[in-house]
Amino acid sequence: MSNVQTSRTRVITWEDPTAAVQTGKTINGIEYLKALQSGELPPPPIAVLMGMWITEVSEGRVVFAAEPAEYHYNPLGTVHGGVMATLLDSALGCVVQSMLPAGVGYTTVELKVNYLRPITVKTGTVYCEGKIIYVGGRIATAEGRLTDAEGKLYAHGTTTCLILRPSSPPAQGSAQLFNRQGYFGSSLTDIMRETGLEKGGIYNHFSSKEQLALEAFDYAYGLVEQRMRLALAGKLNAIERLLAIVSVFEGIVEDPPVAGGCPILNTAIEADDANEALRERARVAMDSWRTTIHRIVNKGIERQEICPGVDADEVASILIATLEGAVMLSNLYKNPTYMKRAANHIAHYIETIRPAIEARAE
């Protein structure tokens, strides 16, 4: 055995992560990840240490890349399994983050990795693609594949993450109550019963019943918005994305994220002119949905997936008015048939805005 040793030295420099972490608390997950990808925000220290970076970001899909190096090696002369696990953990965690609204965090509770073949310096750049599987109120799951530039698979894995929502327990409990009985129909006694808190405990969290109602609405709307993001994740074609939105409304009837139906519809009807703050909150939420549909339609026209001349605001009005009306009828009569009819009608309507050539091709 030779006693000759060849030394290696590696020096890394990273930026204080504090500012980036604080920024991440004020914007939604997809915006935060895109800021990291573009360099608008500095990479986290672990990325610099491991030599990995984000190459692609979209809702429900994130790709990391890394260049295998000697400093990644284990005693066997191959890239350490922990490096491969770190790539999978990073991609899968970030793909969950891509689905989360501002102020909502996550933490990994389980990571399962299957190693298929070793990686060395000769492998070249490796890519770890993470895709979302499920996002619920408290749990999210994702899957990932670690490949080389030619697509050869080296490892794959899955993760389970716990979603950390900042909403206080009273807001979460009251969200169900307000969505079922309404703001004006819910007494302080009802709120105490729903949250399990005494009057003093409630007002330790909130200055007024109105503030509680606003936070409860934000919580309820966040659950619906999360479903919207999950439904749109991975769908690139405009027609598919519009149909995905229809499926979200069907889910509000079949498996409501919060009892009582659509929180935007309920709040808009009840607040009207009686509570301007709640009315404005519902209007902002509805504007977000309308903007999403506008963007889908206009992009679809650019990509020739939707007929030229289609009015994006008209599409948004028809979709939302029809489907929200169906939510109301289905809840009123406790019969999902109304939503099924509306969903079928809207699906046929969406087909009418698809270019004829594309429709025939399918």
The pLDDT tens digits for 175-202 are 778 888 887 777 778 777 776 666 666 6
User: On the CB side of 146, how many CA atoms lie within 13 Å of its CA?
Assistant: 33
Q: Are 52 and 87 in contact (CB under 8 A)?
A: yes
Domain ranges of the chain: 18-164, 221-361
CATH 3.10.129.10 for domain 18-164, yes or no, is yes
- Which CATH fold topology does 221-361 show? Tetracycline Repressor; domain 2 (1.10.357)
**Per-residue confidence (pLDDT) for residue 242, from 0 to 100:** 97
- Look at residue 196 in the predicted model and tell me its pLDDT: 67
Contacts of 43 (CB under 8 A, 6+ apart): 14, 36, 53
Give the span between the Cα atoms of 227 and 284, in whole angstroms: 18
pLDDT tens-digit profile of 319-360?
999 999 999 999 999 999 999 999 999 999 999 999 986 544
DSSP for 254-282 reads HS-SSTTS-HHHHHHHHHTTT-HHHHHHH
Token pair 């889910």: residue: 251
Query: Measuring CA to CA, how many Å separate 153 from each of 62, 118, 145, 149, 157?
Result: 17, 10, 7, 10, 11
